Amino acid sequence: MENRKVGFIGLGNMGGRMARRLVAAGIQVTGFDTQRAAVERAGALSASSLAQLVEASPLIMLSLPDSKAVESVISGENGVLTYCQPGQTVVDLSTAAASSTRRLYGLLAAKGVHYIDAGISGGAAAAEKGTLTLMVGGDGAAIESIAWAFDPIASKVVVMGGSGAGHTTKLLNNFLNAVSLAATAEVMVAGKKAGLDMHRLLEVFNSSSGVNFATLNRFPHIVEGDYLEGGLTGKLMTKDLVLYTDLLHELGIASLNSAGPLASFGLATALGYGDAISNRVVDAIGDISGGVRLHTPD
């Protein structure tokens, strides 16, 4: 375990769970977060400043809300770039724009620091169990050298290519997640209003061509009144969708299917569900469809 020290920046919903997994694996974790209590909950050592964390950590991991926050922490005033040293590695576990990732890669490379983008999938439950899927971009040798830090948090690590490839893959995956969640929410509300049994409807979907992650893993809980709170919020889902449409614009790809989920999660935020888990989109659609709820308490 020699030199296996991690500085973790951003110990919120996902970062805190990943940091706890690292601590449980016997890795020394130093944390830095705007909410000091989050560092304590993760069981990490608390850095008094970003400078202290960077100077004490051969490997630095970030889990932040968006590219703006990542850029501020890395290239902003008194950011990681100010204090990092040649030979260090920075891993960005956030959902971020690949164009921003590649720019930061260049800035850090100029100082002899490796920058790896590692999109994550699996949600809070997988983060808690250490069974996330990681989609990774960056230098292959640098990625291989930190496999020990991925082992406690992920059951699957796929190297997608050079800098930005991990974050690009993450946006593509999140778009499909958003489509399936919004579409399934819509048809479940329709089924409820048509008088269909929710459990039987899911049974049909899950043995038919309509099966998807939402029908398999989300709605069996939602129809019982459990929204799986603690996962990706509606506002963050919308942020990811905007990043996806920006990516397609950069690539010159027509985005013909983004309007539906953007409208669905935008509606959820407008109706007050933005800070709740994105699964609440089903209640937003239910609200404008006559007050439909999939679960009716006895």
- pLDDT tier at 52, thresholds 50, 70, 90: very high
- 170 an active-site residue? yes
pTM, two decimals, is 0.93
DSSP track, the chain:
-TT-EEEEE--STTHHHHHHHHHHTT-EEEEE-SSHHHHHHTTPEEPSSHHHHHHH-SEEEE--SSHHHHHHHHHSTT-HHHH--TT-EEEE-S---HHHHHHHHHHHHTTT-EEEEEEEESHHHHHHHT-EEEEEES-HHHHHHTHHHHTTTEEEEEEEESTTHHHHHHHHHHHHHHHHHHHHHHHHHHHHHTT--HHHHHHHHTTSTT--HIIIIIHHHHTTT---TTS-BHHHHHHHHHHHHHHHHHHT----SSHHHHHHHHHHHHTT-TTSBGGGHHHHHHHTTTS--S----
The reported pLDDT for the residue numbered 231 is 85
Report the range of poorest mean pLDDT among 119-123, 235-239, 286-290, 294-298. 294-298
The residue annotated as part of the active site, out of 170, 192, 235, 239, is 170
Indicate if the pLDDT at residue 1 is higher than 50: no
pLDDT digits (tens, 9 = 90+) for 178-194: 999 999 999 999 999 99
Q: Higher pLDDT residue, 2 or 207?
A: 207
